Amino acid sequence: MDELIKSDLAHNWHPFTQAEQLKKRPPLLIERAEGVKLYASDGKIYYDTIASWWCNVHGHCRKEISDAVAKQAARLDHTLFAAITHEPAALLSQRLTAIAPRGLSRVFYSDNGSCAVEIALKMSTQYWRNRGQAQKKRFICFDRGYHGDTIGAMSVGGVDLYTSHFKHLMYDSIRIPTPYCYRCPLGLEKGNCGCGCVKLLEDALDRHSGETAAVIFEPMLLGAGGMITYPAEYVRRARELTARYGVHLILDEVATGFGRTGRMFAADHADVAPDFMCLSKGLTGGTLPLAATLTTEEVFCAFDEPVKGTKTFYHGHTFTANPIACAAANASLELFEMENTLANVVCLQNRLSENFASYASHPLVGDIRVIGCCAALELVKDKASREPLSAANMAEIDFYNLGFDGGIILRPVANVVYLFLPLAVGEPDLDEMLDRFKFTLTCAADKNIL
């Protein structure tokens, strides 16, 4: 095992990780996984409290998904998807359009969330070009949004940590303040504001709708922006505004889709249907890379023309609609039905809300946010001023390694520490996760950084 770690350190480049960090503490060598537990070579068991980067749904190594993958791999491993199809993709598209918000009748497959977003951006701008409105090519987005790490996805993101080195590559977007209830951009009181910050979106559309292709945001939960939650009412009113001003609505449900917020899709809370919906992460239950961009028949028809025309959507990936990944996704969706997974998320949210409410008096906790399987604490130096813990403070606390010491996987975003749990977690494992999380926070408070 030591040789494997040495090999890793000699050759691998880990994402979002400083090499210096790995010199202090080498990467965990995970040998196997089962349920919500990861078994490491050091003999310890670690709870997967962030669902392996927000993608694991039913727990690790579910036999139903593994069997579907093995069966498909033995029959058809891969084929190109240009003018060719196969059973797993045909069945998956049928399933996705059946459970998606109304009107989303077309599915374009890719490999990951960033690509799903890129595809939606490209489809939207080409739609307007195909319709004779080439001037509609800009996007309105949130200043704390995150949509991936490719150029287009970064261009509609707002977290400088991920984009500052690449601004020379990015195109200009119109950023509006995020509906961030704890730090309201209009200084309004949470719960009594009437979702007043949607006026900022209306103002942007009033000024820029003539040049805007689409509005894009993560509905109800902004992940990498700080686990920021906001009301479904904002999503509903944003849909009304985009329809009124004649621009597309792109909902990035890469992280929020497949039950994460308590409904199959976050859009379901607001009962809205976007023009594009981007999916990935939980699509295969967290087992294999696969993404999908769903759109409407109206958008699809704008690209339809004689074979040698100029309106074709020239975008594709080698592993578009890979049969094995599609088989995993079909098996995952079957598990949703067989196990009534969404009902478990409701119970999970209730338990998380009850448990996290106990942190209200904690000296580091400024705000508590819970939605579906996600529970987050925003950490502050001072509760009255809401001054956030700085990057230096967070580094001094070192939640990542404190979590390792306590047997849980934690990856805070800025000054927010959170749980983002697999949907199928049971009571005994949940109790253990919550106890270990509490122990970690207690150790953090003992760092005396206030």
Please give the domain boundaries of the chain with CATH numbers for all domains: 2-61+341-445 (3.90.1150.10), 64-339 (3.40.640.10)
Given a cut of 70, is residue 75 above it in pLDDT? Answer: yes
Given a cut of 80, is residue 449 above it in pLDDT? Answer: no
Residues 6+ apart with CB under 8 A from 269: 219, 220, 232, 235, 261, 262, 263
CA-CA distances (angstroms) from residue 359 to 222, 320, 364, 365, 434?
22, 45, 9, 7, 12
Confidence of residue 21 (pLDDT cuts 50, 70, 90): confident
Give the residue among 113, 156, 106, 116 at the shortest CA–CA distance from 303: 106
d(CA 331, CA 284): 8
Stretch 385-411: mean pLDDT: 93
Q: pLDDT over 70 for what percent of the chain?
A: 99
Stretch 14-38: mean pLDDT: 93
- 227 touches 369 (CB < 8 A): yes
Residues 6+ apart with CB under 8 A from 215: 139, 140, 141, 201, 205, 238, 241, 242, 247, 248, 249, 250
d(CA 141, CA 147): 10
Residues 6+ apart with CB under 8 A from 167: none
The secondary structure of the chain in percent helix, strand, coil, rounded to multiples of 5, reads 45, 20, 40
d(CA 227, CA 218): 11
The backbone region for 136, taken as left when phi is positive above 0, alpha when psi lies in -120 to 50, beta otherwise, is beta
Say which residue, 309 or 46, is predicted with more confidence. 46
Per-residue model confidence (pLDDT) at position 448: 65
Triad 110, 289, 221: Cα angle to 5°: 85
Confidence of residue 447 (pLDDT cuts 50, 70, 90): confident
Given a cut of 60, is residue 63 above it in pLDDT? Answer: yes
Confidence of residue 24 (pLDDT cuts 50, 70, 90): confident
Per-residue model confidence (pLDDT) at position 101: 98
Per-residue model confidence (pLDDT) at position 26: 92
Given a cut of 80, is residue 168 above it in pLDDT? Answer: yes
Stretch 33-50: mean pLDDT: 96
Structure tokens at 26: 């080498």
Cα torsion for 121, 127, 132, 136, to the nearest 10°?
A: -20
Residue with tokens 């805007």, as numbered in its chain: 212
Per-residue model confidence (pLDDT) at position 370: 98
Q: What is the pLDDT of residues 248-306, one digit of tens each?
A: 999 999 999 999 999 999 999 999 999 999 999 999 999 999 999 999 999 999 999 87
d(CA 20, CA 238): 44
Extended strands (E) in 178-290: 212-217, 221-222, 228-229, 248-252, 276-279
Stretch 201-230: mean pLDDT: 98
> What is the residue-averaged pLDDT of the chain?
96
Give, for 445, the enclosing helix (H) or strand (E).
helix 427-445
Q: What is the pLDDT of residues 318-352, one digit of tens each?
A: 999 999 999 999 999 999 999 999 999 999 999 99
Per-residue model confidence (pLDDT) at position 256: 98
Residue with tokens 């990467």, as numbered in its chain: 27
pTM over 0.75: yes
Structure tokens at 67: 């069997």
Least confident residue range of 24-28, 52-56, 184-188, 233-237: 24-28
Per-residue model confidence (pLDDT) at position 305: 82
Per-residue model confidence (pLDDT) at position 23: 84
Per-residue model confidence (pLDDT) at position 450: 52
